[in-house]
Structure 1
Amino acid sequence: MDISIFIPVYKQSDQVESMLKVLCSQNVSKEIFVTVDAPTDEFCNKLEHLKAEGVKFIINRERTGKTNALNNTVKMSSGGVLLFLDSDVGIPDNPDYLRKIVMKMEHTDVLDIKKRVIKDKSFLSKMAYYEYLTFNISSWIASRFMHKCPAVNGAAFAIKREMFDKVNGFRKVVAEDIDIATRAFLKEGKFSYSHDVEVDNVVHGNWKKWFVQRRRWAIGQALWLKDWYKELARRFVNKPQVFLPSLFFLYPSATVFFLSAIVPSLWMYNSLLVFSLFLSVKFNIALPIFLVSLATADILKVLLISLAGFGITATVFYGFSRKLGFRELKIHELFVYYFFYSTVWMAIIVFGHIQVLFGKKAGPDWKT
């Protein structure tokens, strides 16, 4: 068997039918497992019409948790390549889709599949478009310069069975995708990013669902960092030129806060002093401007750093958007993403880390 595909579903999915239609038409030796936790009656009825050759449905009437469901299903499979797909992704209708993945897996242990958000009219879909662009940029950098990566986006990725067995499968953690990628990374597993194989991601247009999901991501990330920070710190010291740019792309607002903290305010004070003296010579109005300048120097410093950071980010994002095929970049949307969305997301991350420090061990609405 060339490849085994795993699609975990919680309660129901609107995308599974179209996913199976594409996957079943692929011209490779394959097996497909759809594991459903706590399905709704409506979805159970729908499954009766989705049965196809090579597709196995595992129905768990009670919620067993994603990691349990996947680990148990992998034991039933026989493929040399294991492909994990979330039940809310779209797959291009290309008969060679799986064959490309199998071919890429001949040269790597872990493959992060390109993920793109289809924009609709919702604000969150537009912001997630740029967020997922940062995920892709970070994966491309790691693949290009290290051929290893301690993280993967679990919406769509593949791993060799040998590596999956070597790291003992998924652990019962909130961020099971990042965790298994980290363990493969520490086992010296090779990592690649697929530029020409992709999935489309459906994002929450509802703020409440988005907030619950992001809280879970933040807590999962904090728990992951708590488990692995020592080992990752050692690798970071050896390859800071790779890790730092990835952190910049993933958390642009953090860069502004960091630079604002380390850049001396005295530089701004001195610059404003020179400007004030210039005004006094020219217009004899130095004193009031000088007083105002001292009071607002810190604000001006943050403003200048923020605008300079945005200019650099916009330039770099534009270049990568062309390279990676993200052609829908709009400067006003990126501006909102940079100054508003990423700041809100960073605040949620900080809050999640604080919760973990005080003993939080699970994300909201999640079972490992």
Structure 2
Amino acid sequence: MGLISIFIPVYRESDMLEDLLEDLLEDPYEDKEIFVIIDEPSLKSLRLIEKFGGNVNFVLNGERRGKAKVLNDTVEDSSGDILLFLDADVAIDRESGDFLKKVSDSLEKADIVEIKKGVVRDSILARIVSYDYLGFSSTNWFFSRFLGKCLGFNGAAFAIRREAFNSLGGFRRTICEDLDMGLRSFLKDLKFKFLVDANVYTKAPSSWREWFKQRKRWGIGAALWLKENYRSLLGIVREYPKILLSLLLLFPSLPTAMSILIIPEDIYVKIAYILFFILSTRASILLPPTAFASTTLSIIKNMLMTVSSLLAYLSLFYILAQKMNFPFNPLEFTFYYLIYSPLWLITVAASIARLLLKPEWINIDWKV
């Protein structure tokens, strides 16, 4: 389809950047140019210039200018009809083969293409995070298949036609620039495709501390995105109500949480409790069963709802994993569903509440 301009933004350094550049240079697709933009480069990053300087265009910034700003500026200096954006902490799946050709071919009938992402499963946390990415990938596959448009995409690896990028005005300086661009592409009716045949792997946070830091930023970015665009989003939901189904893949713990908070206790549980309460006024021996009924019956009900929901989601994600070629382990998924997913849901909910109630509390280490 023509020249591909590849953009890799870096803050200081990345342990995966050297391998990524080697894979891109070895890719048989010849019509390409590579730009690596580094804010506050470390000595390790400077050494890469010595190795790749003849084949890669390096842009060095002595201060932190921010991802959106440096990418917009570098796009203006590029020549490709296809713009491919890759994070510095991704690795190309070498087994998929012809990575750049698949990206180019996919844009013949689309304006924006998101590339499927897996997770480097090198730790327990990474193995759990991979189910997050299975949910992300399945959601945007759903949008690609049934709508041909997307509300947001994962910006760690995606491609866009230059004319589409220019029509959107490039990246806006916001925390979640990929969510923002996805929604604006939806409103402009740009064609979206989720590319399953090509694959990259991203590095998960190295610790729970780093995970909370990352998800706090994502949660605040999503909250700001919702606040700024809620009118547009409500209009889209009214026109395409099935979009709400995507929330079930992004936040698997949502149905259980909503049912516990909203659905009233079963009428039979209430009748049993009232009966015990009345009888206990006449026979004190029934006081312990009454206390038991007031607490344990509710707990049992919630446990049954949780277990049934877990089994349903386990089956659904197993099917999706087979289709999307993701690894799947029932024990890992159980931890993901019962512990990880509620933490992620609470993080987003807390970010929205913080933004609405105390926006001055928002403080994250991120340059937009």
The TM-score normalised by the length of structure 1 is: 0.91
- Quick one: distance in 2 between partners of 1:363 and 1:158? 31
CA 1:189–1:316: 2 relative to 1, 3 Å: same
Aligned partner of residue 43 in structure 1, secondary structure: helix
Q: 1:207 to 1:361 in 2, by over 3 A?
A: same
Contact 1:90 1:200 (C-alpha < 8 Å) held by counterparts: yes
Question: CA, structure 1 residues 18+356, in 2 after alignment: closer, same or farther (shift >3 Å)?
Answer: same
Residue deviations 1:44-91 (CA, integer Å, cap 9, x gap): 1232112243x2100001111111110001101111111110000001
Which secondary structure does the structure 2 equivalent of 1:4 belong to?
strand
Counterpart residue number, 2:14: 13
Structure 2 counterpart of 1:204: 205
Change (3 A) 1:301 1:168: same
The answer to whether the 8 A contact 2:119-2:133 is kept is yes
Q: CA deviation at 1:291?
A: 5.3
Q: CA deviation at 1:286?
A: 9.0
Q: Distance in 1 between matches of 2:25 and 2:144?
A: 30
Task: Write the mapping of 1:310-349 to structure 2, written as runs, cut at 5 A.
Answer: 310-326=310-326, 328-349=327-348
SS in 1 for 2:219: helix
- Give the stretch that moved more between structures: 355-364 or 140-149: 355-364
CA distance in 2, matches of 1:267, 1:143: 43
The more displaced of 176-185 and 300-309 is 300-309
Matched-pair contact (CA < 8 Å) for 1:110–1:181? no
C-alpha offsets along residues 100-139 of structure 1, whole Å, 9 cap, x if unaligned? Answer: 111101111111110001212x221011111111101101
**Gaps spanning 5+ residues in structure 1: where?**
277-284
Secondary structure of the equivalent of 1:252?
coil
Name whichever of 342-351 and 218-227 sits farther off: 342-351
Relative to structure 1, the CA distance from residue 46 to residue 23 in structure 2 (aligned partners, 3 Å threshold; closer, same or farther) is: closer
Give SS of 1:59's match.
strand
Query: CA 1:361/1:145 → structure 2, altered by over 3 Å: closer, same or farther?
Result: farther
Map of 1:236 onto structure 2: 237
Who is 1:281 aligned against?
none
- CA distance in structure 2 between the aligned counterparts of 1:266 and 1:171, rounded to whole angstroms: 49
Helix, strand or coil for the counterpart of 1:49?
helix
Residues 174, 360 of structure 1: alpha-carbon distance in 2 compared, 3 angstrom cutoff? farther
Q: Distance in 2 between matches of 1:272 and 1:79?
A: 71
Question: What residue number does 2:34 align with?
Answer: 32
Q: Partner of 1:110 in structure 2?
A: 112
- Counterparts in 2 of 1:295 and 1:16: CA distance versus 1, 3 Å: closer
CA change 1:190–1:260 in 2 (3 A) is: same
Instruction: Select which of 76, 92, 99 maps to 2:101.
Output: 99
State how far apart, in whole Å, the 1-side matches of 2:323 and 2:252 are: 20
TM-score (normalised: structure 2): 0.91
Cα distance between partner residues in 2 of 1:156 and 1:2:
18
Q: Distance in 2 between matches of 1:2 and 1:272?
A: 72
Q: CA RMSD in A?
A: 2.2
1:196 counterpart letter in structure 2 = D
1:165 Cα deviation after fit: 0.7
Task: Give the superposition deviation at 1:240.
Answer: 1.8
Q: SS of the residue aligned with 2:304?
A: helix
CA offset digits 1:255-280 (Å, max 9, x no partner)? 2111122322133516867x99xxxx
Q: Distance in 1 between matches of 2:331 and 2:248?
A: 20
Distance change >3 Å, CA 89–CA 206, structure 1 → 2: same
Partner of residue 159, structure 1: 160
Q: Any conservation in 1 of the 2:18–2:48 contact (CA below 8 Å)?
A: no
Q: 1:82 to 1:15 in 2, by over 3 A?
A: same
Tell me how far 1:303 sits from its aligned partner: 1.4
- Work out the CA distance in 2 between the residues paired with 1:232 and 1:268: 40
Which residue of the partner structure matches residue 82 of structure 2?
81
> Which one is further off, 17-26 or 352-361?
352-361
Matching of residues 1-368 of structure 1 within 5 Å: 1-26=2-27, 27-53=29-55, 55-93=56-94, 96-120=98-122, 122-241=123-242, 243-267=243-267, 269=269, 289=289, 292-326=292-326, 328-357=327-356, 358-360=358-360, 364-368=364-368
Matched-pair contact (CA < 8 Å) for 1:216–1:363: no
Structure-2 separation of matches of 1:220 and 1:16:
26
CA–CA distance in structure 1, aligned partners of residues 107 and 54 of structure 2 = 26
Contact 2:8 2:86 in 1 (8 A): yes
Change over 3 Å in CA distance of 1:267–1:163 after alignment to 2: farther
Residue 279 (structure 2) aligns with: none
Query: How far has the Cα of 1:230 moved from its partner?
Result: 0.9
Displacement, 1:351? Answer: 1.9
| 2:280 corresponding residue in structure 1 | none
Q: How far apart are 1:294 and its partner, in Å?
A: 3.6
Letter in 2 for 1:233: L
Instruction: Answer yes or no: is the 8 Å Cα contact 1:219–1:363 preserved in 2.
Output: no
